[in-house]
Structure 1
C-alpha cells in the first residue's frame, strides 16, 4: 500500500527512476547539513575537554574517515538497493508494532536535533543585539523566544517543500558556510598570534596555550586521540550506522554518492570544528571570560560580527530542515495526516522545544545517548541486508502478521549492553562501537534460526530482487546553471577569504571593525547574486 503525498516524497514506496538525483545534489546536501551552527558548540567543546592539538587533528582525521566509510559501505548500499525509507524498511522487516515504537523514538531524536539548531540560531541573534546570554535550562527573554519562533517558521516552510527543494537551497549555502569556517581560522590566527607574541610564545605553543591545552579545567584526565576519533565517528551515527540516511540516499542513482559525505566530515566537521575552536578561544580571550561561559553569540560576534551571526543562522537552518524532514517521515509511520500537515505540526512542537536552552547546554551528551538508542536498529538492518542473504534468507523475510522476535531481542539486548558498559565505566563516546557490532552478530544468529524455514537456493541478486524489486536507473538531465553566475559567486567567496588580510598587520585588534564590515558586505552581495542569477526558480 502506498500513501500519496502532494510533495511526492514516496514515504512507503520506492521513488520512480525519474526522481533519482545526481551526485552534485548529495555533495551540496552533505556539506550544507553538516556545516551547521552546532559546529560552534563542538569546536569550543574540544578546548573544554582538554584535548591537545595533536589529539584533535589526528582524532578528527581517523574518526571522520570511519564515518565516511560507514555511510558508503553500510548505509548507502542498503538505501540504493532497497530505495525505501528507514521507517518503511523497518515496517516490512519487524512489523508495524515495532516500527511505531521506533518511529516515535527516532522522530523525537530528530525533532530535538532540529530544536537544538533553532536554539543556536536564536542565541546568535540574541547575542548580536547585546542581550544577556541564555545559559539556563529555560529562557527568561521574550526576545529570544520570538527569535526562535521566527527561525522555526522559516525551517517549517523549507522542510515542507521536500528533499528536492532542500538540496537546491543547499547548493548555494554550503560553499558560503564552508568559506565562513575557513575565515574563522584565518581571522583568529593573527589575533592569537598578537597575544601569544606578547608572552613570548611560538606558533605551535599558541595552540597549546590558548586553544587545545591538553588540560581540563577540573584537573581530570584530558581526552585522547581515540576519544576525539570516537566522537567524530559517532556524532552522526543515527545517519550512517543507524541507517537514518536511507531516507535521503534512496534518491541517489549510485551508492557511491555516499562518498560525498566526505564534504560533511572533512569539509564540514574537520574545517568547521578546528576553525570554531580557534574562534571560540579568540573570543573568550578578547572578552576576558572562560570559553565555557560563552553562548553562540559570544563565540561569533566578537570576531566575525554580523556576518558570524548570519552564518550561524544559515548553518543551523541547513541542519534543522533535514532533521525536521526526517522527523516528519518518522511520525508519518505512526499517524498519517499528510506530509505538509505533519511538518507544520512537528515544526510547532520543535519550536517549543527550542525555547529551552537546555538542549544547547547538554547537546553533545544528548547526541551520544541518541547513538546508543539507534545503534541496535541500524545493526539489525545491516545484518538483514548483508548477512542473512548469504545463508539463503532474503531481506525482509518476515511474512504478514509474523512477529520478528529477533528484532525485539536485539534492540533490548543492545540497550541492556549499553547500560552495562556505562555502569562499568566505559566512556559514553565509545559505547556505540561494541553495541553495534554485538547487535549485528546477535540479529544474524537469531534471524537465521527464526527464518531458516524460508531459506531459498538462489543467488544474491535473485534474493535482493525478490525483496526489493527490479532496480532501474533513468538518468536525469542535469540542471543548467549560469557559468557566469558560478564564477561570480566563486569570486565573492575568494574575496571573503581576503577580508582577513587587514588583520595581518601590526595591530590586528584595531582592524576588526574593518574586517567585520567587509565580511558582512560580501555576505549580502553573495546572496544577492544568488537571487539574481536564479530568480524565481529557487522557489518554484
Structure 2
C-alpha cells in the first residue's frame, strides 16, 4: 500500500495547496448526504411551522458559514497544520492524546452511520429487511455494509485530494437529485390537497408545507431551536476546528466561505426537499414519515436513481469523516503510518456500520460531539487571537516544553461541568448549551493562562516562529506566481483532446436533462412519476461515465503542468515524504 504524504505533523508545502474547486466540491459533497433524509424527517416530526423552518435554517446556516470563514479557515491557513498538530503546539502532547481519542471515536461512529445509510438503500433491490434493531438481523445487510465500507475506506486512505476528487464528480449530481426529488414529489402533495391546485406563489407553498410536511405543534420548539440546530450540528467541524485538517490545504482563508455550498445547498435546500420527499413517500405508502428510512424515501420519489443517490450520499460524507478520524488516531504517535492507521479506522468503522444503532442515534452523537469538543475550539481561538492582544505570548506552553497545558485542560473540564449544570439544573436545551460552554472555556483559559506562564516573554522562540512563517509565505507566493502559466497550459492540453470536450458536453447535458425531467413530471402530475423515475436512469449513467472521464483528465492535466514547477514530481514527493516521515 503506497504512502500519500498528508503533512500530518508539519505545515503543508506550497506545492500541495489545492484550488478552490476542491473545497467547493468537498463541502457540497459532504453536506449533501444521506442524513439529509433523516434530518429532513426530523424537522417534520419536531412540529415546527414552514416559516420557522425556512427562517431558522437561514439564520443557523449563515452562522455556520461565518464560523468557518471567520474563525476556522484563517487559523488553518495561517498555521497550515492539522487540528491535532496545532492543538499539541498549544495544549501539549498530553491534552492532544485525550482529545484525539474522543474526536476519533466520535468521527468513527458518524462515518459508520453514513455507511449504514448507504447500506440501507441497497436493501431495497435485494429485498433485505429493514434494520430496526440495534444489531443486524440480516447477513446480506452485513455483506453490503462491508463492501460499501471497503470502498469508502480505500478513498479515504488515498488522502484529501482523492476525497475531494471523488466529491467533485458526485456533488453536482447529488445536489440536483435532492432538488428534482423535491420538485417531482410536489405534485403528489398537491393532488392530496383540497386548498391548493397549483403552486403559483410562496403562500401556496407554505399552505402545502403546513398541511402535509411541517405540521406545527405547540411543543415549545420554534425558530431559534431550528437555527441553533443548524449551527450546532456542524460545530465540531467549524467551531471546534476539526476542519483545520481540510482547510490547511486552502490557498486563501476566504475558501472558508465555500462552506456556504454545503450549508445552503445541503443543510437548507436538501433538508427542505428531503421533507417534501418524505411527506410524499409517506402518502404513497399510506404511513408516516417516521416509519421510513432514507432508502425508502428516495426510492419512492426517485426510483432506482434514488437508491444510487442515497448510496453516494453516504459515501461523500463518510469519506472525509474517515479521513479526519485517521488523522485523529495517527496524532497519538507521529511515527505511525497514516495510511495504515486510516485502514484500521476503516475496518472499525465498517464494523460499526453493521450495527444500525449508530444511525438510529445519529442526532444524539452529533449533539454530544459538539458539546464535548467545542471548548477546545474556544481555547485555540483564545490562543491564536486573544493572548497577544492581552499582552501574553501565544504558544507559551510549547516554548516552555510542558507536556500538558494545565489551564487548557482545566478550562475544558470546567466548561463541560458548567454545561452539565445548565442542562440538569436549569433544563437548558442541548442546542443552546454550546455558546455558554464556549464563553466559559475562553474566559477560563485566558485567566488561568495569565497566572500559569503566558505572560512570560519568549523573544527568541517568537522570532523563529515569525521567520518560519515569512519563509513559508515566500514559498507560497513563488508557487502561486505560476498559476496563470499552469492554467493556460492545462487548458491547452484539455482542448487538444477532443474526447474531453465531448465528455464535458455530455456531462453537463445529462444534468440539464435530469432537471428538465423534473419540470416535466411536475407539469404532468403524479400519474407520470413512474415514467419520470425510469427515464432518470439514462442521463444519470451518462453523467457518471462522462463526468468521471472529464474530471479525471482535467486533474491529470493540471497535475502534469504543476509538476513542471516543482523539484520532483508530486507522486515522487508523496513516496519520499511517506518513507521519511510516516513509516512505523
TM category (shorter chain) comes to over 0.9
For 1:343-354, list aligned pairs within 5 A: 343-354=342-353
Instruction: Check whether the contact 1:127–1:296 (CA below 8 A) recurs between aligned residues.
Output: no
Is 1:369 aligned to residue 387 of structure 2?
no
The 1:69/1:467 distance shift into structure 2, 3 A limit, reads farther
Is 1:497 aligned to residue 515 of structure 2?
yes
Deviation per residue, 1:484-521 (Å, 9 max, x gap):
54443222112111112342356x33212111111122
The 1:429/1:463 distance shift into structure 2, 3 A limit, reads farther
Is 1:48 aligned to residue 66 of structure 2?
no
The Cα of 1:248 is off from its aligned counterpart by 1.1
Match of 2:336 in 1: 337
Question: SS at the partner of 2:266?
Answer: helix
Query: What TM-score do you get using the length of structure 2 for normalisation?
Result: 0.86
Match of 1:514 in 2: 531
Instruction: Check whether the contact 1:134–1:295 (CA below 8 A) recurs between aligned residues.
Output: no
Question: SS at the partner of 1:370?
Answer: helix
CA distance in structure 2 between the partners assigned to 1:453 and 1:45 by the alignment: 48
Deviation per residue, 1:340-371 (Å, 9 max, x gap):
21111110100011111111111112101110
Match of 1:438 in 2: 440
Is 1:425 aligned to residue 416 of structure 2?
no
The Cα of 1:463 is off from its aligned counterpart by 9.2
In structure 2, the gaps of 5 or more residues are 199-203, 495-499, 557-570, 572-584
The Cα of 1:403 is off from its aligned counterpart by 3.0
Match of 2:580 in 1: none
The Cα of 1:464 is off from its aligned counterpart by 6.4
More moved, 26-35 vs 494-503: 494-503
Instruction: Check whether the contact 1:11–1:329 (CA below 8 A) recurs between aligned residues.
Output: yes
Match of 2:107 in 1: 110
Instruction: Check whether the contact 2:16–2:249 (CA below 8 A) recurs between aligned residues.
Output: yes
For 1:299-318, list aligned pairs within 5 A: 299-318=297-316
Question: SS at the partner of 1:499?
Answer: helix
The Cα of 1:132 is off from its aligned counterpart by 2.4
CA distance in structure 1 between the partners assigned to 2:90 and 2:552 by the alignment: 45
Return the match for 1:525 from 518, 538, 542: 542
Instruction: Check whether the contact 2:84–2:331 (CA below 8 A) recurs between aligned residues.
Output: yes
Instruction: Check whether the contact 1:393–1:456 (CA below 8 A) recurs between aligned residues.
Output: no
Instruction: Check whether the contact 2:110–2:365 (CA below 8 A) recurs between aligned residues.
Output: no
Question: SS at the partner of 1:244?
Answer: coil
Instruction: Check whether the contact 2:72–2:244 (CA below 8 A) recurs between aligned residues.
Output: yes
Instruction: Check whether the contact 1:128–1:297 (CA below 8 A) recurs between aligned residues.
Output: no
CA distance in structure 1 between the partners assigned to 2:246 and 2:116 by the alignment: 25
For 1:235-314, list aligned pairs within 5 A: 235-314=233-312
Match of 1:188 in 2: 185
Instruction: Check whether the contact 2:169–2:548 (CA below 8 A) recurs between aligned residues.
Output: no
CA distance in structure 2 between the partners assigned to 1:425 and 1:535 by the alignment: 52
Instruction: Check whether the contact 2:507–2:542 (CA below 8 A) recurs between aligned residues.
Output: no
Return the match for 2:161 from 161, 164, 182: 164
Instruction: Check whether the contact 1:297–1:309 (CA below 8 A) recurs between aligned residues.
Output: yes
For 1:441-452, list aligned pairs within 5 A: 441-452=443-454
For these two proteins, the number of residue pairs brought into alignment is 529
The Cα of 1:453 is off from its aligned counterpart by 4.0
Deviation per residue, 1:200-235 (Å, 9 max, x gap):
8954322101100112xxxx6052110010010111
The Cα of 1:468 is off from its aligned counterpart by 5.3
Instruction: Check whether the contact 1:110–1:324 (CA below 8 A) recurs between aligned residues.
Output: yes
Question: SS at the partner of 1:8?
Answer: coil
Return the match for 1:126 from 123, 127, 130: 123
The Cα of 1:392 is off from its aligned counterpart by 3.4
Query: What TM-score do you get using the length of structure 1 for normalisation?
Result: 0.93
Match of 1:412 in 2: 413
The 1:200/1:427 distance shift into structure 2, 3 A limit, reads same
The 1:117/1:376 distance shift into structure 2, 3 A limit, reads same
More moved, 134-143 vs 399-408: 399-408
The 1:309/1:446 distance shift into structure 2, 3 A limit, reads same
Instruction: Check whether the contact 1:135–1:295 (CA below 8 A) recurs between aligned residues.
Output: no
CA distance in structure 1 between the partners assigned to 2:345 and 2:305 by the alignment: 30
Match of 1:212 in 2: 214
The Cα of 1:455 is off from its aligned counterpart by 3.3
What is the CA RMSD across the aligned residues, in angstroms?
Answer: 2.3
CA distance in structure 2 between the partners assigned to 1:468 and 1:426 by the alignment: 43
The Cα of 1:129 is off from its aligned counterpart by 3.2
More moved, 294-303 vs 224-233: 294-303
The Cα of 1:467 is off from its aligned counterpart by 8.1
Instruction: Check whether the contact 1:396–1:467 (CA below 8 A) recurs between aligned residues.
Output: no
More moved, 428-437 vs 395-404: 395-404
Match of 2:326 in 1: 328
More moved, 41-50 vs 424-433: 424-433
Return the match for 2:88 from 74, 77, 91: 91
